[in-house]
Amino acid sequence: MQLGLIGLGKMGGNMAERVRRAGHEVVGYDNAPGKRDVDSLEALVGALQAPRVVWVMVPSGDPTRQTVSALKELLEEGDVVVDGGNSKFTDDKIHADDLATKGIGYVDAGVSGGVWGLENGYALMVGGSKEDVAKVQPVFDALKPPAPQDETGASVPGAGFVHAGPVGAGHFAKMVHNGIEYAMMQAYGEGYELLAAVDLVEDVPGVIASWTQGTVIRSWLLDLLVRALQEDPGLDDITGWAADSGEGRWTVEQAIEHSVPMPAISASLFARFSSRQDDSPTMKAVAALRNQFGGHAVKAREVEDPA
């Protein structure tokens, strides 16, 4: 089948290549001239045969909203727009309702796999009607990982792909996935810090590498931590500043709205906020209070000698 793909960055470019390797035609558009196959959205739509499938893989928020709005004016009844970025699930119904006024379908696709997806495949969580998902299914099949096998050699159904529900369900599932990812990374980071803080353990990278086989905490994230430590054993070349792209915040917001306790994910989100403070106001207040009620010592800020 044909696929129009808008956004050919690290993820989008690799996704286009994986879909091509599966035998499908991809017409790509990007703001960067060196990456694109056509020079405009109009040309992209014109290069596709109806019914068209156009996958949007641009940053969430205004870039995605503007792209979907532009596609509404260019596409026709029976076409489908797929948002494969990390959009907030509440945006999906707005997009779907707007496109529906012209009979254009909409599918939201949560995509996980990062820069490794070209070779390993992408885990896909999609939302939309059965009819619209079916129009995109050949592309989903090309992008998802090969089906794993159970102990009998039979393929495990459903692994790497799920039609999670109606419009919005795909991005909601990806949001929760990323919230869990926050907590897992935080736990690995804290474990690494404790190992590195004691004199007893002489080979911290070796300990972490030993966990990748036969333990209950093995995972792809742990493999990536091992890789990072192989490249930089003391992690001396990076700072402890960690961004958040939105999904962790949204997960915690939904936990509050639905009264679902999420202490681990919430703490991992707040830890990222703390990572951006060289001199945390919170901890200064805590130190001051400890001094006030218990006489505990405080560490005064060092002042340079003007001489």
What six digits make up the tokens of 30? 């990007």
88 is catalytic: no
Strand-pairing partners, residue 170, are none
Q: Which of 181, 193, 202, 304 is catalytic?
A: 181
Instruction: List helix spans (H) across the chain.
Output: 10-21, 41-46, 62-74, 89-100, 117-120, 130-143, 169-197, 204-210, 220-231, 247-257, 263-275, 281-294
CA distance 169 to 165: 5
181 is catalytic: yes
Backbone angles phi, psi at 276, to 5 degrees: -95, 5
Query: What angle do helix axes 247-257 and 263-275 make, rounded to 10 degrees?
Result: 140
Query: How many other β-carbons are positioned within 10 Å of the β-carbon of residue 145?
Result: 16
Residue in the block written with tokens 């012209």: 102
Q: Which of 42, 174, 253, 284 is catalytic?
A: 174
Sheet of strand 2-6: strand arrangement: 25-29, 2-6, 53-56, 80-83, 105-112, 123-127, 161-165
- Catalytic (active-site) positions: 174, 181
